[in-house]
Chains A and B, each alone.
Chain A
Amino acid sequence: MESLRKYLDKIKPNFEEGGKHPKLKSTFEAFESFLFVPNETTGAKGAHIRDAVDLKRTITMVIIALLPALFFGMWNVGYWHHAMTGEEAGFFSNLFYGLGQVLPIIAVSYISGLFLEFMFAQIRKEQVNEGFLATGLLIPMIVPVDCPLWMVAVATMFAVLIGKEVFGGTGMNIVNPALLARAFLFFAYPGKMSGDKVWVAGYGDADKVVDGFSGATPLGELAHGTAFDALTAGNEQLSVLDMFLGYMPGSIGETSTLCILIGAIFLICTGVASWKIMFSGVLGVLAMGALLNVFGTEAYTQIPFWSHLLLGGFAFGIVFMATDPVTAAQTETGKWIYGFLIGVVAILVRVVNPAFPEGVMLAILLMNVCAPLIDHIVVRQNVNRRLNRAKAAVASK
């Protein structure tokens, strides 16, 4: 430790103004503060002691919370690939196959995004914010496994540039950058982002597919008019337990409600993500699902209202995307409204709009945009309370 510290202190002047590599100052600082929490002390006036938490710690918690879903996703990629080809495969060969498919996507996402982050930090003469470390892992988890790597790179850079840096960088963005990346892919390259063939690794150009293998997501099948009972009945079919555990094709990290739930509990215990958003989001889904059950006439509207929680990207979206504090509502009351509306809109788009098999992404993006309005309305209540109090005080004089 000591020798590493000494080495850093020795090379540090190279990156200062007038040193050999002043253009790499932000980069050096990012790595230095990664290794060592700096020796900065508090100012002469104000709080002389500070909480041990910082943004690095907070983002680390998010990444830890993502790991169960990520590892399950890797295994699931291998499982469905082998199910398609009909090969016998054990736990580890499934996992390693998935690892081989998913790691390149993660690497591409991190490299392309961090390159821009470091560049912008240097241009602004700021330090690199850690926010992208979460975004860079979220993006691979919400794309289909067969998404070409160059598309991941383009989408990531689009999200960082247009989603974040043009607004002023971390903390200033209006929509969640990871979801923006996905939306970009969805609308720019729909062929690679939807349909029945993108969810299983190697399906698009497979020579040999097991008879009767579909590769469609359960949501895709439901959207095509398959009844829920038909989907879950019989031995070969998908049981409700399978849905909960995540044995179904889908975006890499989104399928296992169980693993996402573990992540959610971790985020709530550490206080990093708002339980209010998650809870009200679930309420929103249940309310909208029940409403459709009562008033809907088509088969899709009649699937059990609770099953919406297990299907598609809702669980992942509400736990990891909707709770992004920068783009969510920032007032506590606002969080209830924001979460609830995400649930409602997600199911509305999912079931009622035939153009989109899944509505979670659009619902969260829409509510990201509406969050400042929700906050405005909530804060106005406080302002009006204060105004009325002042008026009453004047009147009583």
Chain B
Amino acid sequence: MSKIIKLKQGLDINLVGEAQRSVGQTVAATEVSLKPADFACLKPHLEVKVGDKVKAGSVLFTDKNRPEVRFCSPVSGEVTEVRRAERRRITDVVVKADGQNDFEKFDTSKASSKDGAKALLLQSGLWPYLRQRPFNIVADPSQDAKAVYISTFDSAPLAADYQFVLKDRLADFQAGIDLLSKIAPVYVGYDAKISGNIFANVKNATITGFEGPHPAGNAGVQINHVCPVNKGEQVIVVNPQDVAIIGRLAKDGIYDAKKTIAVAGSKVKSPAYVSTVANASISGIIAGNYDATDARIIGGNVLTGTKLDDKGYVGFYDNEITIIPEGNYYDFFGWALPGLKKYSFSHTFFSWLSPKRKYDLDTNTHGEKRAYVVTGTFEKLVPMDIYPLQLIKAILAENIELMEELGIYEVAEEDFALCEFADTSKTDIQAIIRKGLDLMVQETM
């Protein structure tokens, strides 16, 4: 019987537009794009040019600082475009799919050793699916990891449900764990609220159940309770769906980027799951299925995602697309009225009297940036042994030593997403955390 950890702090925001547990359609991606911006602190080195033919698993770019880390095409086809922003920074490497599904073949025979497993993942371009704590960046392959951690549920609002997504891919998932266990001991966290959880019986891993509101599903939060990261240590984090992709590699020696993506949010006409490939163009996925007037399309969930335009691409680590209304309106005396329909974590609006209600929230900030005044809110939202406000202030002061003492090695942006949501002062806390992590990367790596 596995251990169950109950977390008290956090908040479940009930939003309308949850994806129905059915695969609405299968969208064969016509175009995919790998975006270097999906990987914090990455300096890409381009390995292809426009017009090159690639297979699924052919390298597109590598990491300038660690050339062994390869970023590979998820489909076979032709490199059609390399988009750049100011100072020639690469934003997209676009591959037009040819529909042939030609795979690079990788040799899996040596994967039974630690070095062999690492080499296979690096060679096939699947290594970037492994992110590390500290710093929430692509794992450094030269370091010996203390653990590999997989949280099998995402507790964020409208997030993809892996119980559904992976229900037919458990064998791949298990094969992925088996391969990852060569690198370091694998830990799996599962949602203890779900009876008959399909992940509660995986083998070759230490299993822990978690109960509690969001962010109980965040890997960082679970790691803090199961195998906390100390200075100098590395814990690798992998998303469950990516574990299944790794499993497919272990079994068949190919990068099969097939992915099931949730399309959710109040602007979506029929929220459901879509079967497609990683990094696919979203235009085929959402076309005709959403109300495009004043819509915010988000790659990822509403708390941590990235704004996309309607021709954007699914992010490397994203498992859902969320579409909600933009909030570009003025609200007459909005701060003064009782606010029965306004959602707030605080009890300053009467809506707290109806906790079960589902909300259709938009992107309005509901106020302007102010100095930090209110205290005690963040502590109710971060279920880790960490002082959030003090850490944020240490980052703002760029006090490296203090950041280290207060646990910067244990956190990722997403662990502070709820703080950003609930912050009375409307500061961009996740950007502050990322700034702190970037600073630590510069200092220590």
Contacts and interface: CB of A to CB of B under 8 A. Distances in A.
A325 to B, nearest CB: 4
B298 interface: yes
B417 A46 contact: yes
B375 A52 contact: no
A269 B426 CA distance: 22
A48 B363 contact: yes
B323 to A, nearest CB: 10
A39 B428 CA distance: 17
Interface in B365-382: 365-376, 379
Interface string A351-391: 00000000000000000000000010001001101110110
B333 to A, nearest CB: 7
A51 B423 contact: yes
Interface residues of B toward A: which range? 35 or more
A270 B377 CA distance: 12
Interface stretch (B97-105, B133-141, B184-192, B386-394): B386-394
Contacts of A42: 327, 363-365
A325 B373 contact: yes
B345 interface: yes
A47 B335 contact: no
Interface in B285-311: 296, 298, 302-307
B399 interface: no
Interface in B397-445: 405-407, 413, 417, 420-426, 428-431
Nearest to B393: A330
B384 to A, nearest CB: 11
B345 A51 contact: yes
Interface stretch (A124-132, A199-207, A216-224): A124-132
Interface string B201-236: 000000000000000000000000000101111000
B365 A171 contact: no
B303 A47 contact: yes
A43 B428 contact: yes
A330 B428 contact: no
Interface stretch (B68-76, B84-92, B346-354): B346-354
Nearest to A271: B347
Given A47-B303, A48-B298, A51-B422, A39 B334 contact: no
B387 A382 contact: yes
The residue in A4, A48, A170, A271 that gathers the most chain B C-beta atoms within 10 A of its C-beta is: A48
A331 B380 CA distance: 12
A58 B230 contact: no
A384 to B, nearest CB: 9
B331 interface: yes
A39 B327 contact: yes
A270 B347 contact: yes
Interface stretch (B117-125, B160-168, B171-179, B336-344): B336-344
B361 A328 contact: no
Contacts of B424: 51, 53-55, 57-58
B346 A129 contact: no
A63 to B, nearest CB: 11
Contact of A171 (B228, B373, B379, B429): B373
A5 interface: yes
Given A42-B363, A61-B348, A37 B371 contact: no
B304 A46 contact: yes
A212 interface: no
A131 B324 contact: no
A5 B332 CA distance: 9
Given A39-B364, A330-B375, A271 B332 contact: no
Given A1-B332, A47-B303, A57-B348, A382 B385 contact: yes
B368 A41 contact: no
Contact of B367 (A54, A170, A171, A386): A54
A383 B406 contact: yes
B13 interface: yes
Contact of B339 (A44, A52, A326): A52
Summarize B's interface: helix, strand, loop or mixed.
Answer: loop
A60 interface: yes
Contact of B330 (A36, A326, A394): A36
A393 interface: yes
Contacts of A325: 373-376
Nearest to B369: A127
A332 interface: yes
A332 B376 contact: yes
Contacts of B347: 269-271
B364 A50 contact: yes
Nearest to B362: A49
Contacts of B385: 382, 385-386
A93 B328 CA distance: 49
Given A55-B425, A271-B347, A41 B304 contact: no
Interface string A243-278: 000000000000000000000000001111010000
B335 A54 contact: yes
Given A39-B364, A45-B307, A52 B230 contact: no
Given A46-B420, A171-B373, A331-B387, A40 B334 contact: no
A4 B330 CA distance: 11
Contact of A37 (B232, B367, B420): B367
B107 interface: no
A337 B369 CA distance: 31
Nearest to B299: A45
Nearest to A127: B368
A169 interface: yes
A47 B421 contact: yes
A53 B371 contact: no
A279 B344 CA distance: 25
Nearest to B430: A46
A52 B344 contact: yes
Contacts of B379: 331-332
A33 interface: yes
A55 B421 contact: no
B63 interface: no
Contacts of A169: 371
A61 B347 CA distance: 10
A390 B426 CA distance: 34
B335 A37 contact: yes
Contact of B366 (A5, A51, A383, A393): A51
Contacts of A43: 307, 428, 431
Nearest to A5: B330
A274 B377 CA distance: 11
Nearest to B296: A48
28 contacts: A4-B332, A37-B334, A38-B365, A38-B367, A41-B364, A45-B307, A46-B429, A48-B303, A48-B324, A50-B364, A51-B344, A54-B370, A54-B424, A55-B367, A57-B336, A57-B348, A57-B349, A58-B346, A129-B373, A130-B370, A131-B371, A171-B370, A270-B347, A331-B390, A375-B390, A379-B406, A386-B407, A389-B230
Given A47-B421, A127-B368, 15 more contacts: A41-B364, A48-B302, A48-B322, A49-B324, A49-B362, A49-B421, A51-B343, A55-B374, A60-B336, A169-B371, A170-B371, A171-B373, A171-B425, A382-B387, A390-B231
